[in-house]
Homo-oligomer: A and B are copies of this chain.
Amino acid sequence: MAKKRQRVTLEDVAREAGVSSMTVSRVINNTGRIGSETRARVREVINRLDYRPSRAARALVTSRTYLIGVVVPDITNPYFAEIVQGVEHVAWEHDFSVLLTNTDENPRREEAVLSQLDESTVDGLIVVSSRLPDATLLPLLERHPALVTVNRDVPHQLASMVRNLHGMDHRPVVAIQHLIEGGRQRIGCLALKRSAIQISRERYIALLTAAGLEVSPDWYRLCPPNFEGGLAVMRELLAQCPELDSIVAGNDRVALGVLRAATEAGRRVPADLAIVGGDDTLLASQVTPALSTFNVPKFEIGAMAARLLLRQIGGDSEYHEYLYDETLIVRDSSP
């Protein structure tokens, strides 16, 4: 398994081609005017020697790394994976690479990551669904020269943003309305712990009250944003509040946990219990009964975040935002 090779440098190419290193540099970067025969000769040598510029050297002098940092809470969740896919796609088109950081839903880790991914490491940063409170997040963001947040409101001076057209709690609000219209009387809510895409207990209570429905603060629970979380919290909720006839889940994986817990408890879905999920993941459509959910343009969210970021990296210091829409998809799990 021994392999090594001396790095071929600009000078090597220059010497071999009988020109100065600047000429080679210009050929590579397609900058400045170069005689076409010189260019051809240099190109030939570059290929022959298999020369490839050193990113480190270039970065040192241009202070451009051509790297985009992406911070996500859980790459294992297809929701985030598709966003990353979108970022990667656009980055690639612009000859940027993606530095992925998965914080494993661990705020400490997110904190560490945000302070380590400085401008000598990446040219810009996309922070997706940060799990940090403003008090810790904002100071960390201040140091980043180019920044885009996804699903997180921060001051416009700090970052461009990709977010829901209708606001952060749009999804749960619409889900609740849908359940109300479907005639559900006792609607529970599993809100995503630490996520910004969430409805507050107060708002939840207010909505149901306004609709003239019964509510209990107990029907609202914070829940880890995954299957296990949904399962555990729902088991508990179902045991303590068996009167519930429907549940708004923060995302699809939580909804799946809810579905499982409901099945275990012998509840028929949707007859005894209606469920609405969150993001339109493959899971949601393939499970039985198929889960009502929201279609979210995940790839496009990632792609737009990357575009906004590249704009900043390119020198545009204005605030920009991309608003996406998400619409309810009604399937078998709800009225």
Name A residues whose Cβ lies closer than 8 Å to a Cβ of B. Answer: 1-5, 7, 52-57, 59-60, 63, 65, 67, 75-78, 81-82, 84-85, 88-89, 92, 97-102, 104, 109, 117-121, 142-145, 156-160, 227, 253, 256, 259-260, 282-283, 286-288, 312, 317-319
Contacts and interface: CB of A to CB of B under 8 A. Distances in A.
A85 B76 CA distance: 7
B282 A160 contact: no
Contact of A67 (B60, B99, B156): B99
Contacts of A53: 120
Contacts of A63: 7, 56
Total copies of the chain: 2
B4 A145 contact: yes
Contacts of A67: 99
Contacts of A1: 156-160, 312, 317-319
Contacts of A104: 85, 89
A85 B221 CA distance: 28
Given A84-B75, A88-B100, A283-B282, A55 B121 contact: yes
A98 B99 contact: yes
B78 A76 contact: yes
Contacts of A92: 109
B82 A76 contact: yes
Nearest to A141: B3
A102 B93 CA distance: 13
A83 to B, nearest CB: 10
A278 to B, nearest CB: 15
A102 B75 contact: no
A260 B283 contact: no
Nearest to A75: B81
Contacts of A118: 52
A315 B129 CA distance: 38
A227 B67 CA distance: 32
A160 B100 CA distance: 23
A77 B207 CA distance: 37
Contacts of A119: 7
A316 to B, nearest CB: 9
A100 B84 contact: yes
A259 B78 CA distance: 20
Contacts of A56: 56, 59-60, 63, 65, 120
A113 B165 CA distance: 35
B98 A101 contact: yes
By Cβ-Cβ distance, the 7 closest A-B pairs, closest first, are: A56-B59, A100-B100, A288-B288, A56-B60, A54-B120, A55-B120, A88-B102
A88 B75 contact: yes
B3 A145 contact: yes
Contacts of A109: 92
Nearest to A64: B56
A259 B2 CA distance: 48
Given A5-B143, A56-B59, A259-B286, 14 more contacts: A1-B157, A3-B157, A52-B118, A59-B59, A67-B99, A75-B88, A78-B78, A78-B81, A85-B104, A92-B109, A97-B99, A100-B100, A260-B286, A288-B288
- Which of A56, A78, A81 is packed against the most chain B CB atoms within 10 Å? A56
